[in-house]
Structure 1
Amino acid sequence: MDRTIIKFNHCETDIYRFTVLPHFTEANEGAPSHEEFKQCPLCFETLAFDLLNAPVSVPRPFVNAHKVPCAFAIGSVHGPSFIGEWHDTELHVGITSSTGVVHNYTLSGVRRDDQGWEKCLCLQLVPPWRNNLTHTWDNELEQFCSTSDWTPERFHEEREFGSCCYAFALAFVNHIQVLEGKTPLSKEEFTGTHILPRIKTISKYIQVYQAIAQHGFYAAGQRKV
């Protein structure tokens, strides 16, 4: 899912499509040509835009977790297109350090990954200006990972969204909450408030991306990605 999606309005409809590749190759077979791209895919009229309604890029909802410090990260071993809400594949969850190392709980215990989380859902939990908390975060994260709660022997994977890796990450979030004098969050509260809205955004993006890949465009009326 590396293509860039752009959005423009024509025929009173929001239309999404990929940017045109400069050269046609077997790798982009099926992509619209330059001439096709100049036409509205609904009415086939020639497209003309002024500065106020020119096509805009749709931001990708996936980020490189290794570049997001002090964050709650969710990824899938099958790739970003499997993070959508309709997939039953196992999602994996971790916590990043201030340097982007993803700490995550697995069958072998706590892993510290400096690669492999390049296309994830990320929720940054510490504002950049909280330097004191960033330092505390790293120290507390290392101590937290070293406790007996997160040994390989205690790992029992659940067949639901709230798996052991999720419990590990949320437990650390609540550990920091308590240190900050705040109330711990339940799994339902944290998931419903902070995770599911982002999953829904990713799901919509995946739906649009796959429709463009199949049909060359996606028409959505006034609905937003």
Structure 2
Amino acid sequence: MCFHHRRALISQIVTMTATSESPAAIVQSMPPTISTAVPVALSARDPPGGCPTVPATPTARPVLCFQHCLREVHLLCLQLPATCPLCDKTVDRNRLLLSPSVIPSPFGPASASPCSVVIKPSKGSFLTSLTTSLDLHVGLTDSRGIVHEYDRRGLTVGAGDWRQCVTIPLSCGPNQSKAVDSNFWDYTLEVTENRQCWSRECYDGEDHNCFTFVLDFVRTLQLPGLSAVALNRTHFCQQVICPRMKSVARYVTLYRKLEADHIYVKKIV
């Protein structure tokens, strides 16, 4: 994009309830009021100067989930505590009701998600920078996981740091359940990039930016349902980007809670 948050497209984080012992369900059940991680608001405007190259982002610690003395309670942390907050007894790795497991992170390298839309902050990382004023940058991966992006430098391929980003694979077929043919994806990407409108001179942070490039590609891809959505920036954000960003906001909320309080107690419903 970069999405400069002038027009809110997410008004709230949807609160969900964990109904199983699955660690992945914990993130879905996080209430939106436990930290400063607020819903992401999106628009299609770049910050002045375009999307700069982002410095390397340090790897975040994994979020751990375990049970100590009660099976109906999950304990979440970034590092196992010395004592249990429920019974105040020593936490022994060999005597846990449920051994520590890692809650899946929504962030990962673009190289692991070929044929996808990829999103990252223009500056900083999601874990440190996610607020309503965060500028986001968007690009596309080809069938080899190499990122193609458009910003003030013009069109670049494999030039940025996309090791910690959010990926959104696009699909086709009934119920959008079938992966796009990788050869067709690469061909469409080549067709899009061959248009004479992705130079540095054509770049405009307000009207012709990284989001413009992605939408043009999606329209050219001509996937049933998605191509029509890509005709409108707001609709594309609402239907494709926002659902993914909700899970990102929940995870960031949890992570910041753990950084501040060290442990989070979650009762299983």
Equivalent in 123, 131, 143 of residue 98 of structure 1: 143
Equivalent in 209, 212, 224 of residue 258 of structure 2: 212
Listed one character per residue, the Cα deviations across residues 162-197 of structure 1 (whole Å, up to 9, x for unaligned) are 98212211221121025x697521323322222212
Identify the residue that residue 139 of structure 1 maps to in structure 2. Answer: 187
Higher normalized helix content (fraction of residues): 1
Identify the residue that residue 61 of structure 1 maps to in structure 2. Answer: 106
Q: C-alpha distance in 1, partners of 2:226/2:256?
A: 41
Identify the residue that residue 154 of structure 1 maps to in structure 2. Answer: 202
Listed one character per residue, the Cα deviations across residues 112-165 of structure 1 (whole Å, up to 9, x for unaligned) are 1255101100011258x857x21121122122112122222222213xxx9821
Matched position secondary structure for 2:201 = helix
Identify the residue that residue 240 of structure 2 maps to in structure 1. Answer: 194
Matched position secondary structure for 1:201 = helix
Unaligned residue ranges in structure 2 (runs of 5+): 1-58, 173-177
Asked if the contact 1:83–1:202 (Cα under 8 Å) also holds between the matched residues in 2, the reply is no
Q: C-alpha distance in 1, partners of 2:189/2:220?
A: 9
Letter in 1 for 2:124: H
> Residue 6 in 1 paired to residue 64 in 2?
yes
After TM superposition, the structure 1 = structure 2 runs for residues 28-107 of structure 1, keeping only pairs within 5 Å, are 32=81, 36=82, 39-45=83-89, 49-50=96-97, 53-76=98-121, 77-82=123-128, 84=130, 86-107=131-152
Q: CA deviation at 1:202?
A: 1.3
Letter in 1 for 2:157: R
Asked if the contact 1:70–1:126 (Cα under 8 Å) also holds between the matched residues in 2, the reply is no
- 104-113 vs 205-214, greater mean Cα deviation: 205-214
> Residue 121 in 1 paired to residue 179 in 2?
no
Q: C-alpha distance in 2, partners of 1:78/1:195?
A: 20
Matched position secondary structure for 2:163 = coil
Asked if the contact 2:150–2:209 (Cα under 8 Å) also holds between the matched residues in 1, the reply is yes
Q: C-alpha distance in 2, partners of 1:96/1:124?
A: 9
Asked if the contact 1:69–1:97 (Cα under 8 Å) also holds between the matched residues in 2, the reply is yes
Listed one character per residue, the Cα deviations across residues 8-45 of structure 1 (whole Å, up to 9, x for unaligned) are 3566544310244xxxxxxxxxxx4xxx1xx3224424
Letter in 2 for 1:134: S
Q: CA deviation at 1:68?
A: 1.1
Q: Percent identity?
A: 27
